[in-house]
Amino acid sequence: MEHYRALAAPGEAQDAGALEALRRLLRPEDRPAELADVLTALIGRLSSADRERRQALLLELSELAETRLSDKPRAVEALREVVRLEGTHVD
C-alpha cells in the first residue's frame, strides 16, 4: 500500500492508477478519511466528459462523508455537485 501512496501523493504527477488502487485497498480498511481524500483526488482528475464516473465517485464520497466521517457539509457539497452535473446533462 505504501507504494501506491507514494504514487498518489499530492502533486503534479499524481498517478490515476495508483489512486484507483488505493481506493480499492482502502474500501475494506477502516480508513474513511484517507478514502475520502483519494476519492476527492480521483474526482479532481476526471475530465468533464466523464460525467457518469464523476457522479458515481461523488455519490460514494457523499455516503462516506455522512456515514463514516459524520461530515454532513462535505456530504451535502458532493450531492450538490451530482445535482449540478445532472442538470447539465442533455440526452
Contacts 24+ apart (CB under 8 A), 22-28: 25/1
Instruction: Write down the pTM of the prediction.
Output: 0.83
Q: Please report the pLDDT score of residue 50 as a whole number.
A: 93
Smallest CA-to-CA distance from 26 within 41, 5, 44, 7 is with: 5
Element (H, E) at 10: none
Q: Residue holding cell 482502502?
A: 26
pLDDT lower than 70: segments of the chain: 1-14, 88-91
> For the chain, how many residues are written?
91
